[in-house]
Amino acid sequence: MNYADIKNFNERCKTHPNHQHGMISSGMICDRLYEEVEELREYIEGRTWVGLTDEEISAVLGSDIHDEHSGELLFIRAIEAKLKEKNT
């Protein structure tokens, strides 16, 4: 699931037409909130880490990377690894 798959208010009303008319019970609100939390959880858990390409790193540094063991590249990859650890 991606962010575009999460329903907007009108789409939710079509899914839950009884919410449009009459009384809304606390049970209905709890059910709806549970569904929304589950959709967001699926979205968050479905994200995948996307690292930087060598071309993107070169663009940031302003020069091509020719040495895979250069200090700049190793530093960038170390930061990238830490961010991946924190975000997955």
29-63: pLDDT as tens digits:
888 899 999 988 888 888 788 888 888 888 888 87
56-84: pLDDT as tens digits:
888 888 877 777 777 888 888 899 999 88
- What is the pLDDT, as a whole number, of residue 37? 92
- What is the pLDDT, as a whole number, of residue 34? 92
Residue 86: count other Cβ atoms within 10 Å of its Cβ. 7
For the chain, report the end-to-end CA distance as a whole number of angstroms: 16
* Mean local confidence (pLDDT), 17-29: 70
Show Cβ contacts of residue 7 under 8 Å, excluding neighbours closer than 6 positions: 15, 39
- What is the pLDDT, as a whole number, of residue 68? 73
